[in-house]
Amino acid sequence: MTSNEIRASFLKYFDKNGHRILSSSSLVPQDDPTLLFTNAGMNQFKDVFLGKETRDYRRATTCQKCMRVSGKHNDLENVGPSPSHHTFFQMLGNFSFGDYFKTEAVGCAW
């Protein structure tokens, strides 16, 4: 399988299980001063999980563009030369906003 086929298969599976497919949010968050870069798939749902916002759906799935930098000081200049520093990747995710919890999540994952 190609990476495109893997992404499409993941999103299609969760779509069939009642999740809304949403586009990736920006790699540079526009409305979150606490983040320099999007570093996790759940970032675009942060206000939903904090109870500050509601959506018109209770299940979602995404292929989110992310950037993570590891190291003592999250030092961008070491990205590349060091095997412990990472750059850009896409995170596949499925989310429930009060619709299901662990038991149902395990069923979807299995």
Residues in the chain where the model's pLDDT stays below 70: 70-86
pLDDT of residue 76: 62
pLDDT of residue 108: 83
Is 59 within 8 Å of 20 (Cβ atoms)?
A: yes
pLDDT of residue 43: 94
pLDDT of residue 85: 61
Spell out the alpha helix ranges (H) of 1-110: 3-16, 46-49, 102-109
